[in-house]
Structure 1
């Protein structure tokens, strides 16, 4: 598969970096992106990867979605979670009958992709490297992070091993797993905390290091872990996040230690704020809160599990998106107040 052309649908912070590394290694790559200026820049001047990890410029073929031609055995989907359905409709005509879609996204998008393409045509991935789209043709690579790939049914097939080898071109420590759902649910626990950090103008590390905010962050992690447990999934950890520290019955000390590890990990990156924060503060657009966090509240309801902090978090992010609240310490305090009310009752 490494000699077959790869189609990357979404050439931003995740897809653009993968495309640049693969193209540099001689892998035939075609990228598709809705930003026409970005597509032109990648194809002509090349995409500039900059930051402390590595800096280079690489020409990568890139077109807008309407200009994609042909069919591909490997399609890497790297769009925002809320764009998954529309992107799938556009890319399906370009997916070979024996091909698959690798979801290089945040959330549980593999479920929707399976509904639209068929379960046998989906492969899951987990990515935690720090990157930001800066401008057409420019992407910041802030820090390395975990990269994991696996089939959604837990099998390991020749195509899974080939995809793993392809990802190792970008991240030599990429992991091949039979438990991709465990990693995806682990990322959801961490992701809920990242959404909370975006309630403020402060950096990720500043939020994780603030003792006044840690209890709410811990409570969010615990709510996600409770839902994962009800789903029969044992989340896996990465880069300082230890899901077992937030499992039902785990001691407070373990959770505080995991938060401290996250404060340390996020303090060592040029990407100081989350992509969620950038969506709100810089790009002024909607976040992935509904397909990432909202979906957890829906799954929780199906198990009759109450998740008051997750529900409040979704509402607060929507308030910021729609201009009803600022990103501020006071907005984060609204989340903490839910925890205080719970403890008082």
Structure 2
């Protein structure tokens, strides 16, 4: 099985490195030229969490315009930013083997687009359950042991899931699910409750859980996201151990709101000092994935006739920050709270 990881930043680099350490055949392809050259020269270095300290994986690395040189791909792991899928998937399509499998190790709900571009029979659902960050060319830091959840889009259990798990392991924990859509939406709900809100307020992930004002915005965003996901027919898995139905009702200020707020606050310790990908992207002047978080919930809400004022407000503010018309600041909280009514 030839594994190709497209986008070897934090998550993609961690996956590629662990697959390489397991002795599997894996290559990476990336648009970050310095990163590719560093991997070619000195290998892909992974740091933490491991008793071995910093480890170096030796594996083929390709610049994005070298895609025709890739050997046929049996398992394609797309780990680039979600907004790159529209051009990246068709670019790599000619290199896919006839029975190739494709997984999205990305934020957002990307499976429908990938199925459209690459064939629904090739795509399985995936949820990334660990944080990682590219610290510089050729160097990736893992904050937790790599863990993925995978599942067939129709909910069936197949031999293919076992094959993917075996191919990626043993350095990556891979769990199969018969409710992968519920898991994908659980991750989306959590991202809407944290990443974009942190980007607007300029804080770390725990702020949206510990402080009353940001927590109220966070829970309102979560409630709207759950409403949209349920309207699509998904049975959303718990979010940080909290039942999605509680977030739907309590996040909108309904029964159980106080208990929900207390339980959400209690989860702050699990995120530690993580900022999140979106605040980091803003700090580095990069395009954010807001269209895959609040923007996605907003558009689906409009399509289904479900109001999403909290996500609308966050979406608009992130856009203003990207354009330079606003800066991330705790002072943006007042406008967010006003949007909640």
TM over 0.5: yes
Select 2:258's aligned residue among 242, 250, 253: 253
Partner of 1:62: 61
Unaligned runs of 5+ in 1: none
Partner of 1:188: 188
Matches within 5 A, 1:1-345: 4-52=1-49, 55-68=54-67, 69-144=70-145, 147-172=148-173, 174-193=174-193, 194-237=195-238, 239-240=240-241, 242-248=243-249, 251-267=256-272, 272-281=274-283, 283-339=284-340, 342=341
Unaligned runs of 5+ in 2: none
Tell me how far apart the structure 2 counterparts of residues 145 and 52 of structure 1 sit (CA, whole Å).
10
Contact 1:190 1:241 in 2 (8 A): no
Change over 3 Å in CA distance of 1:250–1:227 after alignment to 2: farther
Tell me how far apart the structure 2 counterparts of residues 275 and 260 of structure 1 sit (CA, whole Å).
21
Tell me how far apart the structure 1 counterparts of residues 313 and 94 of structure 2 sit (CA, whole Å).
39
Tell me how far apart the structure 1 counterparts of residues 223 and 168 of structure 2 sit (CA, whole Å).
31
Secondary structure at the residue paired with 2:98? strand
Change over 3 Å in CA distance of 1:247–1:239 after alignment to 2: closer
* Greater mean deviation of Cα atoms: 272-281 or 139-148: 139-148
Tell me how far apart the structure 2 counterparts of residues 36 and 58 of structure 1 sit (CA, whole Å).
18
Tell me how far apart the structure 2 counterparts of residues 55 and 257 of structure 1 sit (CA, whole Å).
39
After superposition, give the CA deviation of every residue in 1:20-56 in whole Å (9 maximum; x if it has no partner). 0110110110110001111121222112212445532
Tell me how far apart the structure 2 counterparts of residues 306 and 176 of structure 1 sit (CA, whole Å).
34
**Normalising by the residue count of structure 1, what TM-score does the alignment of the two structures yield?**
0.91
Tell me how far apart the structure 1 counterparts of residues 287 and 128 of structure 2 sit (CA, whole Å).
21
Q: How much does 1:196 deviate?
A: 0.5
Tell me how far apart the structure 2 counterparts of residues 49 and 257 of structure 1 sit (CA, whole Å).
37
**Normalising by the residue count of structure 2, what TM-score does the alignment of the two structures yield?**
0.92
Root mean square deviation, CA, Å: 1.8
* Greater mean deviation of Cα atoms: 119-128 or 197-206: 197-206
Q: How much does 1:202 deviate?
A: 1.9
Tell me how far apart the structure 1 counterparts of residues 15 and 180 of structure 2 sit (CA, whole Å).
20
Contact 2:2 2:72 in 1 (8 A): no
Q: How much does 1:291 deviate?
A: 2.6
Tell me how far apart the structure 2 counterparts of residues 46 and 250 of structure 1 sit (CA, whole Å).
54
Paired residues in the alignment total: 332
Q: How much does 1:199 deviate?
A: 1.4
Q: How much does 1:240 deviate?
A: 4.3
After superposition, give the CA deviation of every residue in 1:140-194 in whole Å (9 maximum; x if it has no partner). 212347520111121222111111233442333x320011110111011101122
